[in-house]
Structure 1
Amino acid sequence: MQDEELKDAISKEFDKKRAVVAFLDILGFKDIVRKYVNPKNHEDKKTLEDIKFALNDALKQIREGPYSKYNLVKYKIFSDSTSFSVPEGRGQPYETSMLCMLMTVVKGYNFQLMLRDKYPRGGIATGFHHEDENMIFSESLIKAYTLESEKAIYPRTVLDEELVKRLKKMWKYQKNTMKLFGTHKQIITDKKGTTFVNPFNVIYSSSRDQLASIKKSFTNEKDFVKEVRRLDNWYNFEVLKNVENKLEEYKDDEDVLPKYEWLKELLQWNIDPESSNKFEYLL
């Protein structure tokens, strides 16, 4: 399929008003804004810039290079709420690529926010979806919001069961495409069967092309793997320091404390998979 044909096909898929939608909000946003507007507070003045950076970095792959011409992902931000959407494309040759691209964007957004001490929670679902420059009217968004508010609980972005089944099916028939995006290293599930996007180990779960570019600097596989682990753990420990501060800040809050305790355990599992038996990769 030629570039213009693909661009037109993606536009028509959006016109069908079926999309996969991710909805995320930021925990404690009311307090974040309160600190930002307090004239005596200087430490949180970069909060707005942090959110903008996280968004721009997450969308970098589709704004630059070969993806920039296709308008692959639509997005909106209102207050603490962010939505990303891609055409569902069911049965189309680019269905798997669309879903994998969304997972990559959501992971990047989560990671960049957490690295900046902001903790998103969300859901991803599919269904009817109309979106233009002024409004969103969407079954998918409602389903994703319900996942965020009722099932996510912790700072994580949870996948609807229908999408989990589709991912497993794609893994059987579109494994090479999913490996190209690194999707099999981006989605994990817990002992309760809840599947969500893993925001950590961003180098390990990079696209195949990005990893190949890094690998060129190494003469053997062992050194390459060691360097990927070192880089990922540097970022993991940076987030862990922020989470430790949150644990101290909310040590007497029975509602908030468990959220950061859970996040600490997830981080430690990413640093050392032997540290917990609660998590595993879905694919």
Structure 2
Amino acid sequence: MNIERVAVIGTGMMGPGIAAVIALAGHDVRLIGERTDWAAEGVAKTCAVMEQLLANKLTTASKFQAGKARVCGTSDLDAGIQDVQLVIEAVYENLEVKQQLFERLDRLTAPEVILASNTSGLSITAISARTTHRERCATTHFWMPPHLVPLVEVVMSPNTSEQTAQTLLEFLHHCGKKPVLVRKDLPGQLANRILQAMIREATYVVQEGIATAEDVDTAVKNGLGIRLPVWGVLEHIDAVGLDMCLTIQNSVLPVLDNEPHATQVFAAKVQQGALGVKSGKGFYDWSVKDIDALKKLRDDFIIQTLHFRSEHEPC
């Protein structure tokens, strides 16, 4: 199926970035907000994202101008999804809300229209449970910030058709993303499963007094993390040798945290109201640490990495 028009539902943290990526790739985008002013704000955010990409030479002036013209906003869901080939839902993470939305979309769209959810933690099997045409439902999980991070996880439910999955993979490739196919609808999808294992061990190291939060992050950012953009985990195992890595695994795994829940220090901080940036403290004191500067540093690093890849990676 040829995807020409896409509806993106949600104008919060993810929707505008997703809309920008799709519009810059040459597709018409209807950005749907719950209210008219939210839809207008969403279009403005989308244009701002495109401006950031242009300023950092991640798109061209001609694509920027054409992309802006391809985005329109509306609060009318019924009108916004007319004649589209793909709907991407990017509303907040509430199962009941997503189920109701998918049920409505299933009624209003032709059976061949693909319905995708940007959920990061909910099951697409559960989200699509009230639909009739479940074969056209899948997860397309863009990572934050969606206009910069290349990864999109395409997650299949037991009902998702191969045609739906392959159409999404081809579309996302065309949009310049690096999609991966996750064939089992499990908590954490793919990359989040790896991330959550890291979070559990990192917080355990702090809890047990093995190292401070600062030293944990220093070790990750300046050791294993700095090579990950070009040196994957399984590539590392092959490069080092499976025999050596097996010896290390058998030595280290028995002393890692293996509890099936968050660490005590993690849970205790939440109970105490130490929620991170939003409360001023978490593992760090954010009254003396600048989150905006850190986000800018993150984005600048991603941008430089994208430029490096475009120059050195094979097509």
TM above 0.5, one fold? Answer: no
Higher relative contact order (CA 8 A, sep 6+): 1
| Higher normalized strand content (fraction of residues) | 1
Please report the TM-score for the alignment, with normalisation by the length of structure 1: 0.31
